[in-house]
């Protein structure tokens, strides 16, 4: 049975997921040790536990109830948003979404390119069942694309490419084919929390958390820094709890930190994994969204020699770098043909239509448009939006972390939580939502420190201004802004014993 012990939060080095999907109405200051100590043969939350399930679940299997449990507890903010989505003309008092990591800056560029005549083509093979790995013409273009943009020292090969309908499907497929039920991946936290669902819902695979700290100590040079020593400690703790770890998940550039691993760090992590015979899944979905020239991003595929190529699997998609999260296109590159074949078999359920595959091949081969039009303009717009939000946060005296990659700023609001609990973090998140702004709270990323929020800045300028301006004229029909009334004294909203500090 999934229970939440009533203690103050003190996170150990590693913890078995999923805990980021805890009930949003429960106390987020709870200790996670009960969840961490659970062995692999114990049930997932909600499975076989009627108290954890909503009414009407007799229609579902235990798997179905568990899947519904995830949905019910993880999607509150987004359901609220979709019912009251901001629109400049149709719903000017609606919710502005700074919580979903999407690039909304380049629709004009993309719509023009995708509307050109070379994108409109139909032939019989595109309407028939394809090779489940993806049409060969697309896999050839992906191999060339990744060779060029990942700066691979040798040409990448199309037989190592598999195409799926999105990164979520790819995570799910990899977890299913690499792990037995109840086994785990190490993952540094904070991390993109939806991965918990991706690896669990089909494969019943866990995550073992490598908790990172904002405080820079020892040999660390930056907040939330991942080191081999921390990986080793997390691995030992997982083994001590009877958990078999099969791999490591790395996100580079990192979500939500915007951090970028150096080639030396990547090499160290890969050597660690080889030493313990662990698979490494490297998610590089933001690799072309590094907008600060001073950030020296390097793909894992750029390394001269991979320590264990048969256990290194690289993911990329167009959802972030090309602002096409609704198109659903992702690719796996792996030299392990057993893994590629097993994942391709699951593409029966996660494949792309032939028409989409043709469009993606046309887009990826258009190097002139990508290099001369799209990437320069996309990077300029990302940098401008990032600069605007950063300057506003500095003016408000709000600390944040950002490395010049991705779409988000990791904002530190800990000083506004008097008791420093996850309950306060959750109530502050709700207060933002009540004021018509959707953010992502730190617990959703398994951050061990209450008070961190992810702010997505890759949005149109008028929505950023609308969300961040401190006040509106009294006669304005627009919704409240991002910051008013969020940090003013209130005993009822946060349950504080003293007034909250105000940044104004």
Sequence ranges of the domains in the chain: 73-106+371-471, 122-366
| Peptide linkage before 256 cis (omega within 30 of 0) | yes
Give dist(CA 385, CA 451) in Å, integer.
Answer: 23
202 or 26: which leads in pLDDT: 202
Give yes or no for residue 492 having a pLDDT over 50: no
Instruction: Please give the average per-residue pLDDT across 199-209, as a whole number.
Output: 95
Q: Percent of the chain scored above 70 by pLDDT? A: 81
Mean pLDDT over the full length of the chain: 85
Instruction: Please give the average per-residue pLDDT across 145-162, as a whole number.
Output: 98
CB 95 within 8 A of CB 479: yes
pLDDT number for residue 258: 95
Instruction: Please give the average per-residue pLDDT across 147-166, as a whole number.
Output: 98
pLDDT number for residue 57: 64
Closest CA to 417 of 480, 497, 485: 497
Instruction: Indicate the pLDDT class of residue 465, thresholds 50, 70 and 90.
Output: confident
Beta strands in 104-255 (DSSP E): 161-164, 184-189, 206-211, 245-251
Spacing of C-alpha 490 from chain mean position: 33
Give yes or no for residue 166 having a pLDDT over 90: yes
Min mean pLDDT across 37-41, 128-132, 331-335 is at 37-41
Give yes or no for residue 467 having a pLDDT over 90: no
**Cα 438 to Cα 102, 141, 305, 428, 481, distances in angstroms:** 13, 38, 43, 11, 11
Give yes or no for residue 472 having a pLDDT over 60: no
Min mean pLDDT across 82-86, 158-162, 242-246 is at 82-86
Give yes or no for residue 419 having a pLDDT over 50: yes
Give yes or no for residue 268 having a pLDDT over 70: yes
Instruction: Indicate the pLDDT class of residue 469, thresholds 50, 70 and 90.
Output: low
**Cα 498 to Cα 142, 418, 419, 429, 489, distances in angstroms:** 57, 8, 10, 19, 8
Min mean pLDDT across 119-128, 285-294, 469-478 is at 469-478
Give yes or no for residue 151 having a pLDDT over 60: yes
State the SS3 of 397-464. Answer: CCCEECCCECCEEEEECHHHCCCCCHHHHHHHHHHHHHCCEECEEHHHHCCCCCCEEEEECCCCHHHH
Instruction: Please give the average per-residue pLDDT across 415-434, as a whole number.
Output: 95
Instruction: Please give the average per-residue pLDDT across 238-258, as a whole number.
Output: 98
pLDDT number for residue 468: 63
Q: Beta strands 440-441 and 452-456: pairing type?
A: antiparallel
Instruction: Please give the average per-residue pLDDT across 450-457, as a whole number.
Output: 98
Residue 79's SS3 state is helix
Considering the domain 73-106+371-471 in this protein, what is its CATH number? 3.90.1150.10
The model's pTM is 0.86
**Cα 411 to Cα 7, 10, 400, 419, 453, distances in angstroms:** 26, 21, 4, 18, 5
Closest CA to 454 of 464, 463, 444: 444
Run of H or E residues at 281? strand 279-283
CB 328 within 8 A of CB 352: yes
Closest CA to 503 of 480, 485, 481: 485
List strands edge to edge, sheet with 245-251. 161-164, 330-334, 312-317, 279-283, 245-251, 184-189, 206-211
Number of other residues whose CB lies within 10 A of the CB of residue 21: 24
CB 134 within 8 A of CB 162: yes
How confident is the model over 317-357, as pLDDT tens digits?
999 999 999 999 999 999 999 999 999 999 999 999 999 99
Radius of gyration of the chain (CA): 23
Instruction: Indicate the pLDDT class of residue 16, thresholds 50, 70 and 90.
Output: low
CB 390 within 8 A of CB 401: no
Give yes or no for residue 94 having a pLDDT over 60: yes
Structure token pair of residue 422: 């996850």
How confident is the model over 361-402, as pLDDT tens digits?
999 999 999 999 999 999 999 999 999 999 999 999 999 998
Give dist(CA 497, CA 476) in Å, integer.
Answer: 34
State the SS3 of 295-359. Answer: CCCCCHHHCCCCCCHHHEEEEEEHHHHCCCCCCCCEEEEECCHHHHHHHHHHHHHHCCCHHHHHH
Give yes or no for residue 35 having a pLDDT over 80: no
For 298, list phi and psi in degrees, rounded to 5.
Answer: -135, 130
Instruction: Please give the average per-residue pLDDT across 62-75, as a whole number.
Output: 83
Instruction: Please give the average per-residue pLDDT across 467-472, as a whole number.
Output: 49
pLDDT number for residue 19: 37
Give dist(CA 344, CA 162) in Å, integer.
Answer: 6
Closest CA to 248 of 330, 191, 166, 304: 191
Closest CA to 70 of 191, 200, 169, 186: 200
Give dist(CA 351, CA 360) in Å, integer.
Answer: 13
Domains 73-106+371-471 and 122-366 fall in the same CATH topology: no
For 137, list phi and psi in degrees, rounded to 5.
Answer: -60, -35
Q: Percent of the chain scored above 90 by pLDDT? A: 74
Give yes or no for residue 9 having a pLDDT over 50: no
Instruction: Indicate the pLDDT class of residue 141, thresholds 50, 70 and 90.
Output: very high
Closest CA to 418 of 488, 497, 485: 497
Considering the domain 122-366 in this protein, what is its CATH number? 3.40.640.10
């Amino acid at each position: 049975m999934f229970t939440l012990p009533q203690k103050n939060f003190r996170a150990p080095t590693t913890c078995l997921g999923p805990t980021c999907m805890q009930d949003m109405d429960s106390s987020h200051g709870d200790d996670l040790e009960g969840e961490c100590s659970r062995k692999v043969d114990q049930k997932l939350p909600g499975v076989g536990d009627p108290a954890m399930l909503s009414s009407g679940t007799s229609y579902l299997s235990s798997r179905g109830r568990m899947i519904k449990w995830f949905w019910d507890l993880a999607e509150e903010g987004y359901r609220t948003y979709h019912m009251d989505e901001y629109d400049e003309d149709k719903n000017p008092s609606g919710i502005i979404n700074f919580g979903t990591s999407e690039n909304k800056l380049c629709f004009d560029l993309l719509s023009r390119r995708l509307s050109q005549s070379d994108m409109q083509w139909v032939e019989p093979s595109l309407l028939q069942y394809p090779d489940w790995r993806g049409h060969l013409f697309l896999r050839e273009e992906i191999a060339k694309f990744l060779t060029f943009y990942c700066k691979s020292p040798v040409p990448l090969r199309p037989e190592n490419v598999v195409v799926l309908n999105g990164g979520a499907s790819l995570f799910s497929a990899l977890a299913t084919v690499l792990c037995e039920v109840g086994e785990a991946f190490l993952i540094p936290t904070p991390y993109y929390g939806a991965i918990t669902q991706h690896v669990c819902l089909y494969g019943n695979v866990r995550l073992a958390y490598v908790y990172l700290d904002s405080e820079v100590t020892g040999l660390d040079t930056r907040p939330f820094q991942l080191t081999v020593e921390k990986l080793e400690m997390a691995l030992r703790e997982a083994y001590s709890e009877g958990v078999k770890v099969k791999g490591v998940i790395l996100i580079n550039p990192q979500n939500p930190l915007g951090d970028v691993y150096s080639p030396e760090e990547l090499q160290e992590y890969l050597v660690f994994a080889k030493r313990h015979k662990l698979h490494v899944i490297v998610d590089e979905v933001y690799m072309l969204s590094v907008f600060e020239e001073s950030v020296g991003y390097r793909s894992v595929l750029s390394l001269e020699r991979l320590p264990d190529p048969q256990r290194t699997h690289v993911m990329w998609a167009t959802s972030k770098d090309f602002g096409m999260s609704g198109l659903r296109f992702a690719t796996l590159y792996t030299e392990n043909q057993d893994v590629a074949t097993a994942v391709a078999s699951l593409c029966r359920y996660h494949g792309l239509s032939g028409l989409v595959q043709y469009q993606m091949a046309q887009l990826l081969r258009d190097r002139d448009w990508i290099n001369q039009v799209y990437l320069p303009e996309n990077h300029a717009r990302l940098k401008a939006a990032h600069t605007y939000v950063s300057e506003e946060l500095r003016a408000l005296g709000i600390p944040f972390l950002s490395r010049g990659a991705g779409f988000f700023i990791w904002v530190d609001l800990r000083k506004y939580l008097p008791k420093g609990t996850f309950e306060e973090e959750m109530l502050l998140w709700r207060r933002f939502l009540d004021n018509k702004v959707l953010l992502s709270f730190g617990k959703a990323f398994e951050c061990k420190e209450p008070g961190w929020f992810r702010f997505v800045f890759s949005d149109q300028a008028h929505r950023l201004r609308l969300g961040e301006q401190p006040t509106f004229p009294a006669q304005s029909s627009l919704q409240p802004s991002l910051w008013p009334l969020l940090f003013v004294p209130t005993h009822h909203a946060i349950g504080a014993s003293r007034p909250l500090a105000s940044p104004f």
